[in-house]
Chains A and B, each alone.
Chain A
Amino acid sequence: RKEVEQDPGPFNVPEGATVAFNCTYSNSASQSFFWYRQDCRKEPKLLMSVYSSGNEDGRFTAQLNRASQYISLLIRDSKLSDSATYLCAVRVEGDMRFGAGTRLTVKP
């Protein structure tokens, strides 16, 4: 079993749609959690950290469920510019482990 697993997608949604991604992790000792965005042929860029109580940044909401060992990312009112690959990342004992990413395409 991979340490961090994501549905690879692709998710194809119309503009304005709400889309949600889940990411599961295997190590219960995982300490901190993140969502990254990666555009084609670019480096991953930090989108948001994921806090235990859940957190929101504009149209983006991240949640953590420690009991079930998953994190989620909700994007509301999707924009064309949201098209990218979304990577979840989990820090375990100093090491950062990444999921393979979920590809999102937002269409007009």
Chain B
Amino acid sequence: SAVISQKPSRDICQRGTSLTIQCQVDSQVTMMFWYRQQPGQSLTLIATANQGSEATYESGFVIDKFPISRPNLTFSTLTVSNMSPEDSSIYLCSVPGVNTGELFFGEGSRLTVL
């Protein structure tokens, strides 16, 4: 499986500010995914980060709130903009495996918004 590094691993932010989360993979991957996991909840797909084109967002998520960059096949960023306490969550990047469609996850970025 790929080695996926995320940073920051955690942060405490003030309401109204923005935070950019980075995801680095040790191999080239066509697609990278950003998930959110709110406390006690399951993982919810935010968007698919495509290299060379705009990210594809899921229903309920918009580019203005969660801008994504994908400058190359090993790196992506997710920005959480104009944060509110409701954005407090774990944000995870993931990449597909090579076998039967499984996903592998980075360690996650735990965000707390005050």
Contact = CB atoms under 8 A, between A and B. Distances in A.
Interface in B1-56: 1, 33, 40-43, 45
Interface string A23-48: 00000000110100000011111100
Interface residues of B, number: 20
B93 to A, nearest CB: 10
**A contacts with B: majority SS:** strand
Grouping DSSP codes into helix (H, G, I), strand (E, B) and loop, the B interface class, with mixed when no group exceeds half, is loop
A96 B106 contact: no
Interface in A1-29: 4
Interface stretch (B70-78, B81-89, B95-103): B95-103
A43 B42 contact: no
Interface of B: 1, 33, 40-43, 45, 92, 97, 99-108, 110
Interface of A: 4, 31-32, 34, 41-46, 49, 87, 89, 91, 95-101
